[in-house]
Amino acid sequence: MEEKYPWISFKVDVSKLSFLTWIKLGECVSKSVHICRVPLKPNVAEEMHKIYLAKGAQATTAIEGNTLTEEEVRLRMEHQLKLPPSKEYLGQEVDNIIRLCNEIMEKCGRPRERGHVWPRWFFQKHDDARGEPFYGKTIPKDSFSIAHTLNYFLVR
């Protein structure tokens, strides 16, 4: 990429940042932590969950060629989208992703009730959602790091 676009660089030399920049970055982190801990009203939290679940399901299935729009995915979530038989498989793909996302949320649960998303469970869920084995029938060698990463983001 650097050969084609020499002006694009993904390297950052943080030693060149001033102490004021570091202070402002610290303030940004602090404000982010404050905001993320603000409780939402249940109806607001539920609506945000639906919005981002629809966005995520649409984007995830679109990568695989699914042509349903975000609005159609939202309607599907609310059981208001009637698809012709020739397109029902598109809805099934979305349903599978939504079900998996909700299972992960349920498994991770509330702070005091959290479970872990272990590699075998995760890969089995992948198999269920895709209808085909993940990496065949074997768990990848780096499955511990995958599970660790999932737990880091989902069980904090």
What is the pTM for the complete model shown? Answer: 0.58
Confidence of residue 152 (pLDDT cuts 50, 70, 90): low
Residue 13 is predicted with a pLDDT of 85
Residue 121 is predicted with a pLDDT of 65
For residues 125 and 100, the answer to whether their CB atoms sit within 8 Å is yes
Q: Looking at residues 4-12, what average pLDDT do you find?
A: 81
For residues 91 and 83, the answer to whether their CB atoms sit within 8 Å is yes
Q: What is the mean pLDDT of the chain?
A: 78
pLDDT in tens, 60-96: 999 989 999 999 999 999 999 999 999 999 999 999 8
Q: What type of residue is 151?
A: N
Between these two residues, 104 and 31, which has the higher pLDDT value? 31
Q: Quick one: how far is CA 62 from the chain centroid?
A: 14
- DSSP codes of every residue in 96-130: HHHHHHHHHHHHH-SGGG-----HHHHHHHHHHHH
Element (H, E) at 2: none
